[in-house]
Structure 1
């Protein structure tokens, strides 16, 4: 087919399935976000399970999975959100290497817990890189387009490396999540009451949340907006306080600058949890060891 020796065909693309790798770090000074897989641990694990380099491109699904037809036999793995995995209609293992025979179909179902699955194939998905990465950035539009029905995707040659691991323990994803927050560069823009409310309530994940950031609803956080803040650099995990008193936590596709105070930065160990939170679920912040003293 079209001269390709090893490829897959998208049977069902899902709501939003994108190619993701380790992203474009180190380019923020050019206005290019980092992007890349949101759940880095499960992205790397999926590649390890099939013997890939950990930075190979995978598929990142959103909620309702993906289905792929393979032209040749393939070794695949599905990690991240817990979902039913089927090969040719038969239930298969989650978070383990899977053999898909030539002409077979891999079907990743709707997430039962969590939000995003990671699908890796031995050899990696071969799509055109942009600025050195195959990641789709939903904010800037950089990188390959999201998957569409009938799309043909080339697969790289199988490595002779044996998978580093052959199974992975599952860490349950709970609907209520505690996240450690470090002080941000504009922590002093919080009032005393604002800091108290930031850490004494549970925030609900709003439907506007996406790969750019988590929009969180809850009791209004009081800030000290007595001056206008010029746009300044922001990073992954920045907790930005909006004039409305709402909170946004920036994720992989965040803008490189922002005009609202960054009052905190979440700990990087919470990246996977943020990637898997669904609309309507809750998150509670806790002060990290770096958060000391009170607001004067």
Structure 2
């Protein structure tokens, strides 16, 4: 069992998401940074889709009521286990009664805590991911609160020390051109790609809102609703783009500037209010190459962990 002493800004149980239900209006949910989640899971010997705890900003405390093995990945939250510093990208044995303390995130915004064997909670539509807006998944369909009890399976055996790096961060996000190119002049696309955008405080797991001074993207277009997905970049009438994330809606009537390529979407998990980001339009070949590079990163980890277990 794990007791949540202090949940911080937003702590939820997530896996790789709820897929195959968007036609019913069900959001994907799941870890905003699936690569940090997958790497953390592999370090403790879990399946890639085993649920983890997604921690936003930090300022959290968890107490372990039994022995286990954990791994943190994602933002560095200056974590301490039993008062001793531990670091993202490594796995650590935990003794019964120890407390994991996280300070404020630095070099990122979200961290993923994988526990060997995962958290025992009921799956909804084949996923234990927490959908906060819909109110299901996780333990109670909501963010974790103080005194919540998270059931886990104890593990007190030997476990090798393992570490792995995360994919490189990017300040320039690659996007596909949107389907509404004909609604605006080329200057719209040029301005979007040439502007340094700032992440607004009005951002969450549903989407990241972006702002800039002297915005030239204001419009009055109203369109019939069409399907949208994580990565879709909606252009609001105020001219502030919104990059939809995992908890975002399934349809929308705003014009679409483009779609973030799948290989870059996880970068938004680590952007906090006040951070800056830029965009560039790329073709399908560039997007495919980027995804292959990410897949190769995970494959290299698989090989490294396999070789470690053979020794």
- Decide: shared fold, TM above 0.5: yes
**Change in CA separation of 1:220 and 1:39 when aligned onto 2, cut-off 3 Å:** same
Residue by residue, what CA displacement relative to the aligned partner does 1:261-290 show, whole Å, maximum 9, x if unpaired? 112001111122111001011110111125
* Residue of structure 2 equivalent to 1:250: 244
* Residue of structure 2 equivalent to 1:166: 162
Task: After superposing the two structures, state which structure 1 stretch, 198-207 or 103-112, moved more.
Answer: 103-112
Return 5+ residue gaps in structure 1 as ranges.
1-6, 292-296
* Residue of structure 2 equivalent to 1:261: 255
Q: Could you tell me whether the CA contact under 8 Å between 2:67 and 2:156 is conserved in 1?
A: no
For 1:171 and 1:132, locate their aligned partners in 2 and report how far apart those are by CA, in whole Å: 28
Q: Could you tell me whether the CA contact under 8 Å between 1:100 and 1:106 is conserved in 2?
A: no
Offset of 1:212 from its aligned partner?
0.4
- 2:142 matched to 1:148? no
Return 5+ residue gaps in structure 2 as ranges.
286-311
- 2:265 matched to 1:271? yes
- 2:223 matched to 1:229? yes
Q: Could you tell me whether the CA contact under 8 Å between 2:67 and 2:154 is conserved in 1?
A: no
From 109, 128, 141, the equivalent of 1:134 is 128
Residue by residue, what CA displacement relative to the aligned partner does 1:131-174 show, whole Å, maximum 9, x if unpaired? 221111233333232111111110146599977x8101256657
For 1:86 and 1:285, locate their aligned partners in 2 and report how far apart those are by CA, in whole Å: 36
Residue by residue, what CA displacement relative to the aligned partner does 1:40-75 show, whole Å, maximum 9, x if unpaired? 100111111111111011000110243211111110
From 180, 190, 197, the equivalent of 1:196 is 190
* Residue of structure 2 equivalent to 1:90: 84
Q: Could you tell me whether the CA contact under 8 Å between 2:29 and 2:130 is conserved in 1?
A: yes
Residue by residue, what CA displacement relative to the aligned partner does 1:72-104 show, whole Å, maximum 9, x if unpaired? 111001100012121111112321111111111
Residue by residue, what CA displacement relative to the aligned partner does 1:197-245 show, whole Å, maximum 9, x if unpaired? 011110110000110001000243437756x411111011001111221
- 2:117 matched to 1:123? yes
For 1:66 and 1:80, locate their aligned partners in 2 and report how far apart those are by CA, in whole Å: 15
For 2:136 and 2:63, locate their aligned partners in 1 and report how far apart those are by CA, in whole Å: 26
For 1:70 and 1:157, locate their aligned partners in 2 and report how far apart those are by CA, in whole Å: 10
Residue by residue, what CA displacement relative to the aligned partner does 1:7-63 show, whole Å, maximum 9, x if unpaired? 111111111100000111111001101110000100111111111111011000110
TM norm structure 1 = 0.88
**Change in CA separation of 1:287 and 1:26 when aligned onto 2, cut-off 3 Å:** same
For 1:271 and 1:155, locate their aligned partners in 2 and report how far apart those are by CA, in whole Å: 30
Q: Could you tell me whether the CA contact under 8 Å between 2:68 and 2:156 is conserved in 1?
A: no
Offset of 1:190 from its aligned partner?
2.5
* Residue of structure 1 equivalent to 2:12: 18
Q: Could you tell me whether the CA contact under 8 Å between 1:52 and 1:159 is conserved in 2?
A: no
- 2:98 matched to 1:104? yes
Q: Could you tell me whether the CA contact under 8 Å between 1:138 and 1:211 is conserved in 2?
A: no
TM norm structure 2 = 0.84
- 2:186 matched to 1:220? no
Offset of 1:189 from its aligned partner?
2.1
Task: After superposing the two structures, state which structure 1 stretch, 231-240 or 90-99, moved more.
Answer: 90-99
Which structure carries more helix by proportion?
Answer: 2
**Change in CA separation of 1:290 and 1:220 when aligned onto 2, cut-off 3 Å:** farther
Number of aligned residues: 281
- 2:280 matched to 1:286? yes
For 1:22 and 1:141, locate their aligned partners in 2 and report how far apart those are by CA, in whole Å: 18
